[in-house]
């Protein structure tokens, strides 16, 4: 019975060590993944942009309404792509903080709340 407990403790310890050594999936200023890496926040922003624009530039005045009720103008979607491109270039040049700032700004632009929902949240109506 003692050998079972020792073996069990060794396996649990090895599993905990393996989990502790896995890098976090949250992007920080120190993380600048390869652009093909699925954890890369730039690739995630690019996928969001692609789903809204279908991979092409959108007419600046064209309204886009998403399934979750967001209303975006074509100019916002086009500017998000500019920010994503800036983030990609900054990442290639190892300017990690700049890359993260640009990609976060693009994500904020693409995922902003509807005005009525944001107003309700700020007034404490929706929680």
pLDDT digits (tens, 9 = 90+) for 25-52: 344 444 555 666 767 888 889 988 998 8
Say yes or no to pLDDT of 20 above 60: no
Nearest to 100 by CA among 40, 56, 51, 47: 40
Say yes or no to pLDDT of 80 above 60: yes
**What is the DSSP secondary-structure string of 2-70?**
HHHHHHHHHHHHHHHHHHHHSPPSS--TT----TT-TT-HHHHHHHHHHHHHTTS---TT-EEE-TTS-
Say yes or no to pLDDT of 96 above 90: no
Give a yes or no: residue 101 inside a domain: yes
Which residues, other chains included, contact 120 with Cβ-Cβ below 8 Å and sequence gap of 6+?
A: 126
Give a yes or no: residue 19 inside a domain: no
Give a yes or no: residue 71 inside a domain: yes
* Max mean pLDDT range (9-13, 15-19, 104-108, 122-126): 104-108
Per-residue pLDDT band at 76 (split at 50, 70, 90): very high
Is pTM beyond 0.75 here? Answer: no
Give a yes or no: residue 90 inside a domain: yes
Nearest to 30 by CA among 112, 79, 100: 100
Give a yes or no: residue 10 inside a domain: no
Give a yes or no: residue 18 inside a domain: no
How many folded domains does the chain comprise? 1
Domain that residue 90 falls in: 25-123
Residue range 60-76: mean pLDDT, rounded: 89
Give a yes or no: residue 8 inside a domain: no
Q: Calculate ∠ Cα 112-31-46, nearest 5°.
A: 40
Give a yes or no: residue 107 inside a domain: yes
Which residues, other chains included, contact 107 with Cβ-Cβ below 8 Å and sequence gap of 6+?
A: 41, 44, 45, 48
């Amino acid at each position: 019975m003692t050998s079972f407990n020792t073996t069990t403790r060794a396996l649990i310890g090895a599993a905990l060590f393996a989990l502790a050594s896995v890098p976090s999936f949250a992007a920080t200023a120190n993380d600048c993944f390869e652009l093909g890496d699925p954890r890369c926040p730039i690739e995630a922003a690019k996928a969001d942009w692609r789903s809204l624009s279908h991979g092409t530039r959108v007419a600046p005045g064209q309204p886009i309404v998403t399934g979750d009720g967001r209303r975006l103008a074509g100019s916002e979607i086009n500017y998000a792509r500019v920010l994503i491109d800036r983030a990609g270039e900054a990442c290639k040049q190892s300017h990690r903080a700049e890359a993260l700032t640009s990609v976060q700004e693009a994500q904020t632009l693409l995922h902003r709340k509807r005005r009525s929902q944001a107003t309700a949240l700020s007034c404490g109506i929706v929680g």
